[in-house]
Chains A and B, each alone.
Chain A
Amino acid sequence: MDLMEKNLELIEVQKLEGHTDRVWNAAWNPVSPILASCSGDNSVRIWEQSSLSRSWSCKTVLEETHTRTVRSCSWSPSGKLLATASFDGTTAIWEDLGDEFECISTLEGHENEVKSVSWNASGSYLATCSRDKSVWIWEVLGGNEYDCASVLNGHTQDVKMVLWHPTLDVLFSCSYDNTIKVWWSEDDDGDYQCVQTLDESSNGHSSTVWAISFNAAGDKMVTCSDDLTLKIWGADISMMHSGEGYAPWTHLCTLSGYHDRTIFSTHWSSEDIIASGAGDDAIGLFVDSKQHDPVNGPSFNLLLKKEKAHEMDINSVQWSSSKESRLLASASDDGMVKIWQLETIP
């Protein structure tokens, strides 16, 4: 299926209103038609799609827990738990009890604002990061217990995002220090070390790196930055799957000239479409050009750019994992969450 040959358009399905301050992040539940969003209004909103009308409405508001901005939210792989990271220095874990959500645990430890939280593929570990420059790994024990397993130091500035690899227990973090760090426990004994730093000398970013996203196979990743570029990286992870040791990530290509303001978010869909959301209020969609250049490696083309997708900066773009439709959620400083569908127009 060659997407470039089709007449594709990003159609706005619905605008979700309710937050009373900027929305920082949106996250799709991996198993149900549910979307979580978190905001500068200190709350988290859970939006659900009605099976009858197919429209989305706010099912519940999680408030009175975080005392400051909720910066990011992430569903556990089972879809039953939601982790929320806040400027108040804590990360809350919520359980979906059907009618309501209950805060079953609060992870404390960071010295200041927590910026991001991520579950590993099996749901046995959580990672958080903060302006305190550290990355914390938490072990998920039974009975709503969470234990700090590791405090990882290495970044020299504010850490903006953490993300576990989709298939391996390898952790990635990106920072205001312009680098991306890879953390791995070689002996699988929980002793994580920084095994690689992707900085400017590795063809990396020249300013704050805001987000990371992996393709479904986990052998490629995209990062976005205040330097106005997106960068694609690759690694031979089959080597890691077969236990032959660490396979380093290398720069494959840089996408520049598409956004003229900080790119805050990027997400790689299961169909290999990369979405970007930036301070220029636009959403960009990119696809592999499929031109196998042995010298320069892979290259990506702009599929489409949705200008003025929001009235203010876009902080988050997330593809739904739903097989039925190509749904994209976007969250903005304008207080809105929007749901888009990528459709072929006749």
Chain B
Amino acid sequence: MVSGLINENPTVYERKERRVRTDSTNTDEDIRDPEHPYSLEQLKVLTEDSVEVDDFKSYVRVTFTPTVEHCSMATIIGLSVRVKLMRSLPPRYKIDIRVAPGSHATEAALNKQLNDKERVAAALENPNLVEMVDECLSPSFE
């Protein structure tokens, strides 16, 4: 684990009033940033626009924007988003996670790792990683 924080002073945005929506688009809210007690939505790492859903095709793609270009927490964030979606969506859904183009130094490598099903499965068998993911996904942080 890094001793210093990746981003000491993140810009915090207003939390939007949540409108009532279908289940499949509600699930990306309230994922906690690994370093700060704010949601990814509050840090604009994820926005409503960054989620593309096609319920008919059972497809969802989430694009997230780490707050700094060399963010080493990006893997944890990506993994947490995937786990949250896996736990919330019906099994027929295909999930693609990626970093916003141009937002990270190792964009291609990161995207490849986040979308390799076997690597994700192996990572989720690692109790330390699962603990970190569960921390990000635990509901009460306000």
Interface set, chain B 83-142, CB cutoff 8 A to A = 91-92, 94, 112, 116-119, 121-122, 125
Given the interface contacts A68-B125, A207-B112, does A158 sit within 8 Å of B119 by beta carbon? Answer: yes
Question: In whole angstroms, what is the CA distance A226 to B122 when docked?
Answer: 18
Whether A313 lies near B125 (C-beta < 8 A) is: no
Query: Which of B92, B118, B122, B125 lies in contact with A160, CB distance below 8 A?
Result: B118
Interface residues on B, range: 10 to 19
Whether A176 lies near B121 (C-beta < 8 A) is: no
Interface of B is mostly: helix
Interface set, chain A 214-250, CB cutoff 8 A to B = 226
Q: Chain A contacts of B118 at CB under 8 A?
A: 71, 115, 160
Given the interface contacts A176-B116, A262-B117, does A131 sit within 8 Å of B91 by beta carbon? Answer: no
Q: Chain A contacts of B122 at CB under 8 A?
A: 69, 87, 112-113, 131
A58 within 8 A of B: no
A311 within 8 A of B: yes
Q: Chain A contacts of B91 at CB under 8 A?
A: 311-312, 333-334
A80 within 8 A of B: no
Question: In whole angstroms, what is the CA distance A40 to B124 when docked?
Answer: 11
Interface set, chain A 256-285, CB cutoff 8 A to B = 261-262, 279
Chain A-chain B contacts (Cβ-Cβ < 8 Å), number? 35
Interface residues on A, range: 20 to 34
Whether A312 lies near B121 (C-beta < 8 A) is: no
Whether A69 lies near B117 (C-beta < 8 A) is: no
Whether A208 lies near B112 (C-beta < 8 A) is: yes
Interface set, chain A 164-196, CB cutoff 8 A to B = 176
Question: In whole angstroms, what is the CA distance A113 to B91 when docked?
Answer: 25
Query: Which of A69, A226, A261, A262 lies in contact with B121, CB distance below 8 A?
Result: A69
Q: Chain B contacts of A262 at CB under 8 A?
A: 117
Q: Chain B contacts of A68 at CB under 8 A?
A: 125
Whether B92 lies near A312 (C-beta < 8 A) is: yes
Bitwise, B6-33 to A at CB < 8 A (1) or not (0) is 0000000000000000000000000000
Q: Chain A contacts of B112 at CB under 8 A?
A: 176, 207-208
Whether B92 lies near A69 (C-beta < 8 A) is: no
Question: In whole angstroms, what is the CA distance A112 to B119 when docked?
Answer: 12
Q: Chain B contacts of A71 at CB under 8 A?
A: 118
Whether A87 lies near B125 (C-beta < 8 A) is: yes
Query: Which of A131, A207, A279, A334 lies in contact with B94, CB distance below 8 A?
Result: A279
Q: Chain A contacts of B121 at CB under 8 A?
A: 22, 40, 69, 87
Q: Chain A contacts of B125 at CB under 8 A?
A: 68-69, 87
Question: In whole angstroms, what is the CA distance A131 to B118 when docked?
Answer: 10
Whether A311 lies near B94 (C-beta < 8 A) is: no
Question: In whole angstroms, what is the CA distance A279 to B92 when docked?
Answer: 11
Q: In this complex, what residue of B is CB-closest to A71? A: B118
Given the interface contacts A69-B122, A69-B125, A87-B122, does A311 sit within 8 Å of B92 by beta carbon? Answer: yes
Q: Chain B contacts of A160 at CB under 8 A?
A: 118
Question: In whole angstroms, what is the CA distance A22 to B117 when docked?
Answer: 11
Bitwise, A3-30 to B at CB < 8 A (1) or not (0) is 0000000000000000000100000000
7 A-B contacts (beta carbon < 8 Å): A69-B121, A87-B122, A112-B122, A176-B112, A208-B112, A279-B117, A311-B92
Interface residues of A (CB under 8 A from B): 22, 40, 68-69, 71, 87, 112-113, 115, 131, 158, 160, 176, 207-208, 226, 261-262, 279, 311-313, 333-334
Interface residues of B (CB under 8 A from A): 91-92, 94, 112, 116-119, 121-122, 125
Given A22-B121, A160-B118, A312-B92, output 5 extra A-B contacts at Cβ < 8 Å: A69-B122, A71-B118, A87-B122, A112-B122, A312-B91
Report the 8 A-B pairs with minimum CB-CB distance, sorted nearest first. Answer: A113-B122, A68-B125, A87-B122, A312-B91, A87-B125, A311-B92, A69-B125, A261-B94
